[in-house]
Structure 1
Amino acid sequence: MIIRYRVLGPCQALRADGGEAALSGARLRALLAALAGAAGRVVRADELIELIWEGDPPGNGTEALQALVGRLRRVLGREAVDSVAGGYRLAAGAEDVDLYVFERLAAEGAEALAARETARAARLLDEALGLWRGPALADLPGRDGDPVVVRVEQRHAHARKDRLAAEVALGRAAPAVAPLEALAAERPLDETVQALRIRALRAAGRGAEALRVYDEVRTVLADRLGADPGAELRDLQAELLSGDEPPTVAVLPLRLPARPTSFVGREGELDVLVAELGKRRLVTLIGPGGVGKTRLALEAADAEAWRWPGGVGAVELGSVRAESEVPSAVLTALGGRETQSWGATPRDALTRLVEHCASRRLLLLLDNCEHVIGAAAE
């Protein structure tokens, strides 16, 4: 009986006795990787054919897939793969697949780190990172564009960063410098990684080097993005120049609206949206009223909440009548106190909103904004 699947690296199926099922053939491993990556969700037959044969299936792709599924059942046991109308499902839950166990542990570690439970965070993140044996879904052809791969590899980078942040917080900055330099080299435009690297250098007594790194980062951002460093890096430079200790940044007590029902049947869309959130600062959902844009956005925001130490907040703009009211509505939803003085302009409200959010890294969901789209975009 198969009890555990590994897809963080070469695909493996482990039996209850600790033995490993023999998965011979690249396409057999690709099929298992595709099914395990779905963690118990149904994968359509046409999608499996596209994934396994990369757009070049044999003459009858459906029959070839059926034969491949038969081979996999002979290796894993017939009960391991269910036939469902239009596709197939691996009889396994998220806790049976290392990819999803990794995501759970990484999220719990990030939450513990945000709550300043540093030692617990370190243990959880060590357990999560210990599951990583190589590229996610390594046996899946065309894996680079797969939404699950994009999502989990981004979370792997965040877990590495969080583990190093825990190391610095535990007073072990010096040994964290080298792995932080390696992570920063992989993600040169990730300002949170660069800021952590600079903090580690300072904590290790290498303040002059920390300032040099800041200058290097500023140059890279200017050359590649045409942008200046963000508020976190600028504040860190000021601390380095003054010798002050870094200020504590308050976390916004934001909460997403409760969802009264479970969320099923749209996991593919959710994976795509989560992947987009990891790549872009702004993502917009469009579609007719009633198709579920709000619910999908809330589920994605909830799934990604671990990435945003400043909080995740939702702002309902359906009742806002004029574009000039949007900044005030957002500021109020974020818990900011706006005192509107006589003669103040809408730009004043926007300026206060920017100042309120500048020191925080947060995810903001603007709902029902089509009638005030210009102000929402700004």
Structure 2
Amino acid sequence: MASGTVVEFRILGPLEVVDHEPLSLGGHKQQAVLAVLLLHRGEAVAADRLIEAVWAGRAPATAGKTLQVYVSNLRKALGDGPLVTRGRGYMLAAEPDQVDSDRFEKLADRGREALERGDAQRARMWLEAALSLWRGPALADFSYESFAQSEISRLEEVRLAALESRIDADLRLGRHAALVPELEALAHEHPLREQLYEQLMVALYRSGRQVDALERYQRARRKLIDEFGIEPGPRLQEIQSAVLTHDATLDLPGRFSSRRRRKAELEEGQRAPAAWVSRWAARVAGLRDRTRHLRGQVAPSVERPVRRPASAPRWLMAGTGAAALLVLAVVLLLTVGHSGGRAHKRGVLADWAGISSPSSGEVYARGQFVATSFSCGQVSGGPALMSCSDSAGTATSRGGHGHLDTSTTGLHRYTVAATVKSGSTKATSITYTVVPPPRAALETSIATAAHSRTNATLACSGGGGGGACRGTLLLTVGRRVTRRVGQRPAAAIETVMLARTSYSLAAGASRSIVVPLTDAGVLALRAAHGHRLRVQATITPTLGATAERTITLKRRR
């Protein structure tokens, strides 16, 4: 059994369907049929409605037959299952994890929830993973088609909201200087979104550019007055006043925000046990009527006392209500098996396969090692369990540990199967998304050197599943030299290594690291005019592509 990718439908950019590699979807009109069905996935779309959407009210007389040909071609491309006939129309049966827009919104929601809890680093991780799914404007192939306009507008609004949340997380993490160029471009592109101007003013103020922050406020104010005759909103006006008075609320959040985050985590932990017991109580209530025939094993109803098993701790049986329901739930799980909704006649578990970790729907970086834990069981007195195997080829007698395949990006499925001697198999699976690995980048264009060393600020971004950026930072400079080739001198460029160090950063983190200069680096910097030297910074990661950037190495006077 091989680990396989799941068919993935992509609308955050040009329309694509990927199964290991992009599938051929035919011409524009045929792709438009698939796009309409994707926008109404899970529901039947009448043929007349499809014709109206695809031909925009100008359908030829042969549109009905042409639509049938398009659907037939799409079925051949997609394989059995996703595209089905429903009455006089068609339906695309796609699970939420198969559509990139659904995954984007789920990841963005996780990021916003983390931001509300005060966990800016995790919020940034989720939000950047969500935004990395975008490959261009949503439904870019159908930007002028009337059927796509409302969804294009909705997705763009959701994208901008996620982007603003990610910038909020960056501001909380102290990355204001690196945000200024991005916010300048975004404010120019979306001049009526006041939140972008709010964030830009805060980033400029924290970067020591108070005058620039006030100038951006005036720019936004003129735009609003000239086009709509209105003043900026209260929040933007409050930030302007705060900049003028150097209000401490504009500074980086400190101890108070950390305390508030710990308080929120504590409150969440206190709520968890009650919610857990409530879920078990509901499960027990649903199973109660099916257990009346299990004589001597469980109480026939919740109202009657439950006999404590010899191995159960006494504190479990103390009191009534939720505790009694909890004990009954445990006994039911140990004694009741069900297949297709029916309890097994012996009151024991049927063949089953389970994945205890990780959970479904998670996101990981390409190349990240993710361990799995799985187990299998069988009918008591039935055929012997022959094997318990997973997608990675790990096979055991009852269960064990394996790993997820994260070698390629995209949506994947991990499956565990229990096989008995009779040949029957019970399987269960989870889906997960693999995104490009986190990447490191220099956050500044100037590195200051002193006492034979320099500091460089690195940021690790991307990798929605967490992970880390690890590798080597190398500073080099090209020096013109003259060499002899035969009898003639020839000019050449010699690379001189100025500094080299290794680094390790968690995804979403930003940190200043010390880079020791080599003897050649110290001499080159001293010899440089004005004690400034243009050097090549090469960041070699453990995973992903090597990044290069030209920066200025400046000696501190």
Q: One fold, TM greater than 0.5?
A: yes
Distance (Å, rounded) in 2 between the aligned partners of 1:44 and 1:244: 60
Match of 2:209 among 206, 211, 215: 206
Asked if structure 1 preserves the Cα contact closer than 8 Å seen for 2:110 and 2:123, the reply is yes
DSSP-derived class of the 1:246 partner:
helix
Distance (Å, rounded) in 2 between the aligned partners of 1:97 and 1:214: 40
Structure 2 unaligned residues grouped into runs of 5+? 261-557
Match of 1:57 among 56, 59, 69: 59
> Does residue 199 of structure 2 align to residue 196 of structure 1?
yes
Cα distance, 1:141 vs structure 2: 6.0
Cα distance, 1:42 vs structure 2: 2.7
Name the counterpart of 1:304. Answer: none
Q: Provide, for residues 153-175 of structure 1, a one-character-per-residue CA deviation record: whole Å limited to 9, x for no partner.
A: 11111112221221111101011
Distance (Å, rounded) in 1 between the aligned partners of 2:13 and 2:45: 21
Distance (Å, rounded) in 2 between the aligned partners of 1:141 and 1:244: 45
Match of 2:235 among 232, 236, 244: 232
Asked if structure 2 preserves the Cα contact closer than 8 Å seen for 1:51 and 1:141, the reply is no
Cα distance, 1:2 vs structure 2: 5.8
Name the counterpart of 1:217. Answer: 220
The 1:142/1:47 distance shift into structure 2, 3 A limit, reads: farther
Name the counterpart of 1:151. Answer: 154
Match of 2:93 among 91, 94, 113: 91
Name the counterpart of 1:116. Answer: 118
Q: Structure 2: which amino acid aligns with 1:196? A: Q
Name the counterpart of 1:7. Answer: 11
Distance (Å, rounded) in 2 between the aligned partners of 1:190 and 1:55: 35
Cα distance, 1:184 vs structure 2: 1.1
Within 5 A, what are the aligned runs for 1:144-183?
A: 146-183=149-186
Asked if structure 1 preserves the Cα contact closer than 8 Å seen for 2:30 and 2:70, the reply is yes
Name the counterpart of 1:341. Answer: none
Within 5 A, what are the aligned runs for 1:264-303?
A: none
Structure 1 unaligned residues grouped into runs of 5+? 251-378
Q: Structure 1: which amino acid aligns with 2:93? A: A
Cα distance, 1:116 vs structure 2: 1.7
Name the counterpart of 1:253. Answer: none
Asked if structure 2 preserves the Cα contact closer than 8 Å seen for 1:52 and 1:140, the reply is no
Distance (Å, rounded) in 2 between the aligned partners of 1:98 and 1:156: 13
Q: What is the aligned residue count?
A: 248
Name the % identity.
Answer: 37
Name the counterpart of 1:66. Answer: 68
Deviates more, 1:137-146 or 1:174-183: 137-146
Asked if structure 2 preserves the Cα contact closer than 8 Å seen for 1:8 and 1:133, the reply is yes
Cα distance, 1:139 vs structure 2: 2.8
Within 5 A, what are the aligned runs for 1:35-54?
A: 35-54=37-56
Asked if structure 2 preserves the Cα contact closer than 8 Å seen for 1:11 and 1:138, the reply is yes
Q: Structure 2: which amino acid aligns with 1:67? A: V
The 1:139/1:35 distance shift into structure 2, 3 A limit, reads: farther
Asked if structure 2 preserves the Cα contact closer than 8 Å seen for 1:54 and 1:142, the reply is no
Q: Provide, for residues 126-145 of structure 1, a one-character-per-residue CA deviation record: whole Å limited to 9, x for no partner.
A: 11111100121223363466
Moved over 4 A (4+): 247-250
Asked if structure 2 preserves the Cα contact closer than 8 Å seen for 1:7 and 1:37, the reply is no
DSSP-derived class of the 1:135 partner:
coil
Cα distance, 1:43 vs structure 2: 2.8
Asked if structure 2 preserves the Cα contact closer than 8 Å seen for 1:161 and 1:193, the reply is yes
Q: Provide, for residues 94-134 of structure 1, a one-character-per-residue CA deviation record: whole Å limited to 9, x for no partner.
A: 21100111111112212222222111111111111111001
Q: Provide, for residues 227-281 of structure 1, a one-character-per-residue CA deviation record: whole Å limited to 9, x for no partner.
A: 111110111111011011227999xxxxxxxxxxxxxxxxxxxxxxxxxxxxxxx
Name the counterpart of 1:34. Answer: 36
RMSD between superposed Cα atoms in Å: 2.2
Name the counterpart of 1:127. Answer: 129
Name the counterpart of 2:349. Answer: none
Asked if structure 2 preserves the Cα contact closer than 8 Å seen for 1:54 and 1:141, the reply is no
Distance (Å, rounded) in 2 between the aligned partners of 1:141 and 1:62: 24
Per the normalisation by structure 1, the TM-score is 0.61
